[in-house]
């Protein structure tokens, strides 16, 4: 984004085709530089050429302004006159030249598939909505800009409400994501418009229990949406997962059952997000084990993401969950990282209970709060319509919060 001029820069106004304005905005954001510096570099490169470029169609060019070093615009205008091209044509060629010299960077993919375990044994805190929104944010198109809430302003929620937060347009992360519905209630599967797997067919439960009849990859379905391309997939749940703890009790190395099941598809994805059931049973042990830090992984690549609400019962549930995870850490010598806490369904209008609870979560520090998601109607509407939230309402507060969360834990 072009910033106001400093003392050594002046505002210049011209015209530029809409498609070049769009590509310039996206590409400069992808490279993390301001538009004014991209334009300056393009003009410098254009002025250094030994011959004119092929003319660009500038019909329908729209108003465009930026900031350049003092004197550069006058020199550029003189060069355009000397070369016999209009200022709009010269500026268009300069921007096109910069775009060609600075192609879109490749998506940075992790060396090993990240495993994000979304959990809390308390029901109704929004694990499923967070799993879906996080996965959608991770998979959004990297060649488009999307509004993101700047995470360092979380604390302003407790004092001033959502209006105090700042926003920024950033390229999507463009990662290949698998959402795993690990909950026998099948909420994630249904919310994203798919039917649960038939109970008499193959399922994740059967793969974990050693009763599979086919390949797990064959159960995975795509989540449609232009903003996700073919990067967002779902492993649907089956109601037979209600029997998972019973089945796992007789399985060898049962804590590794989820890892054995998902292992064959890990290479297909950059991130695997697991929506856990509201349980502290053997299935939670298997999910936590799957999210442990493996020997070749860096700290924080994979781990546990805890979803809570800004009220007292979430604090009680959080204590029970962390006690179980700490026992697993100790008993099995696991390197188990917390990716953070997400305070979901937050609404400052609920007064002291909400704001003081949010502050209490922020005071924990380790793990720290990595996301605050508002309690707004768009998520409920998306669920009713069985559409991904970021496709249904990409600019709503919950959507921009999900993008902030995705970046905060990346």
Please report the beta strands in 130-254, taking only residues with DSSP state E, as ranges in sequence order: 145-149, 167-171, 177-181, 221-222, 232-235
pLDDT at residue number 162:
46
Locate tokens 């809409």: which residue? Answer: 18
160: left (phi over 0), alpha (psi -120 to 50) or beta: alpha
pLDDT at residue number 4:
55
As a whole number of angstroms, the distance between CA 187 and CA 197 comes to 12
Among candidate residues 292, 279, 263, the one with its CA nearest the CA of residue 178: 263
Task: Give yes or no for a contact between 210 and 154, defined as CB atoms under 8 angstroms apart.
Answer: no
pLDDT at residue number 155:
47
As annotated, the residues of the chain forming the CATH 3.40.50.300 domain(s) are 114-408
Task: Give yes or no for a contact between 100 and 41, defined as CB atoms under 8 angstroms apart.
Answer: no
Task: Give yes or no for a contact between 47 and 78, defined as CB atoms under 8 angstroms apart.
Answer: no
Q: Could you name the CATH architecture of 9-101?
A: Orthogonal Bundle (1.10)
Pairing of strands 9-16, 62-69: antiparallel
Please report the beta strands in 17-107, taking only residues with DSSP state E, as ranges in sequence order: 62-69
Query: Does the predicted model carry a pTM greater than 0.85?
Result: yes
Locate tokens 């297909």: which residue? Answer: 268
Among candidate residues 192, 188, 149, the one with its CA nearest the CA of residue 167: 149
Average pLDDT, the chain: 90
pLDDT digits (tens, 9 = 90+) for 280-295: 889 999 999 999 999 9
As annotated, the residues of the chain forming the CATH 1.10.1220 domain(s) are 9-101
Task: Give yes or no for a contact between 177 and 135, defined as CB atoms under 8 angstroms apart.
Answer: yes
Among candidate residues 24, 30, 27, 99, the one with its CA nearest the CA of residue 66: 24
pLDDT digits (tens, 9 = 90+) for 206-261: 999 999 999 999 999 999 888 999 999 999 999 999 989 898 988 888 999 999 99
Q: In whole angstroms, what separates CA 82 from the centre of its chain?
A: 49
pLDDT at residue number 269:
97
Which superfamily, per CATH, for 114-408? P-loop containing nucleotide triphosphate hydrolases (3.40.50.300)
pLDDT at residue number 120:
87
The low-confidence residues of the chain, meaning pLDDT below 50, are 1-2, 152-153, 155, 158, 161-164
């Amino acid at each position: 984004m072009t910033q106001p001029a400093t003392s050594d820069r002046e505002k210049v106004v011209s015209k530029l085709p809409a498609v070049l304005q769009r590509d310039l905005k996206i590409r400069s954001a992808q490279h993390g530089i301001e538009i004014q510096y991209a334009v300056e570099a393009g003009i410098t490169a254009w002025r250094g050429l030994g011959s004119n470029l092929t003319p660009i169609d500038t019909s329908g060019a729209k108003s465009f302004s930026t900031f350049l070093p003092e004197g550069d615009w006058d020199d550029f205008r003189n060069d355009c006159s000397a070369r016999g091209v209009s200022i709009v044509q010269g500026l268009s060629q300069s921007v096109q030249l910069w775009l060609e010299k600075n192609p879109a960077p490749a998506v940075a993919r992790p060396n090993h598939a990240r495993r994000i375990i979304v959990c809390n044994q308390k029901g109704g805190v929004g694990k499923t909505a967070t799993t879906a929104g996080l996965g959608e944010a991770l998979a959004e198109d990297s060649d488009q800009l999307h509004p993101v809430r700047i995470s360092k302003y979380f604390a302003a929620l407790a004092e001033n409400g959502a209006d105090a937060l700042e926003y920024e347009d950033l390229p999507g992360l463009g990662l290949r994501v698998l959402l795993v519905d690990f909950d026998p209630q099948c909420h994630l599967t249904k919310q994203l418009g798919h039917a649960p797997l038939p109970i008499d067919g193959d399922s994740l439960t059967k793969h974990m229990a050693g009763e599979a009849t086919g390949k797990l990859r064959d159960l995975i379905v795509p989540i449609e949406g232009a903003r996700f391309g073919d990067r967002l997939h779902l492993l649907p749940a089956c109601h037979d997962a209600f029997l998972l703890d019973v089945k796992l009790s007789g399985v060898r190395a049962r804590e590794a059952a989820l890892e054995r099941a998902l292992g064959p598809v890990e290479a297909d994805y950059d991130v695997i997000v697991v929506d856990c059931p509201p349980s502290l049973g053997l299935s939670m042990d298997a999910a936590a084990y799957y999210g442990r830090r493996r020997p070749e992984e860096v700290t924080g690549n994979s781990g546990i993401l805890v979803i809570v609400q800004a009220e007292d019962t979430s604090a009680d549930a959080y204590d029970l969950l962390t006690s179980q995870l700490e026992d697993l850490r100790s008993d099995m010598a696991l390197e188990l990282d917390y990716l953070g806490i997400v305070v979901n369904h937050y609404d400052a209008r609920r007064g002291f209970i909400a704001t003081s609870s949010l502050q209490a979560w922020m005071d924990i520090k380790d793990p720290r709060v990595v996301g605050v998601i508002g309690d707004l109607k768009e998520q409920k509407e998306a669920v009713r319509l069985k559409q991904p939230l970021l496709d249904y309402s990409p600019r709503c507060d919950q959507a921009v919060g999900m993008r902030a969360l995705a970046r905060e834990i990346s």
